[in-house]
Structure 1
Amino acid sequence: MSEATDATAGTAEGGAIVGRAMRATTSILGAYRAFIAHTQACEECRAEGVDCDDASRLRQLWRDVKAAQ
């Protein structure tokens, strides 16, 4: 499955992308990488210049992980 398809599925499934990132994230750096990788690949984020819903969730996950450590 391609990343673009995964992004579409994540939005439809109510945040599956964020769920996968949370399971894979064990550090501040991992959370930040997930956020940046998404924003670089997401057409909506790049075209609009603002975070889409998934990017907003990933950014919040990064902030939460950072605050917890």
Structure 2
Amino acid sequence: MNNSAKMDQIEVLRVKLEVLRQEHRDLDTAIGALHENPTADMLTLKRLKRQKLMLKDRIVALEDRILPDIIA
């Protein structure tokens, strides 16, 4: 793979990463709103929290692909 193709792939990963981060922020906002509602559905709240955790795992995985650990 040449440098140009590798750079294009990294740019695609960066865009995907930003989309996932935005989804994570949106879920955080939704969870916060549900917490403020005393009649909130606890099952929905649990599902949103689980989805947020899964997004966080995907974010970390993408970050690792973009900037891999280099053991010196």
Sort the TM-score into its range (normalised by shorter chain).
0.3 to 0.5
Select the structure with the greater relative contact order (CA < 8 A; seq sep ≥ 6): 2
Larger Rg: 2
Structure 1 length as normaliser, TM-score? 0.36
TM, length-normalised to structure 2: 0.35
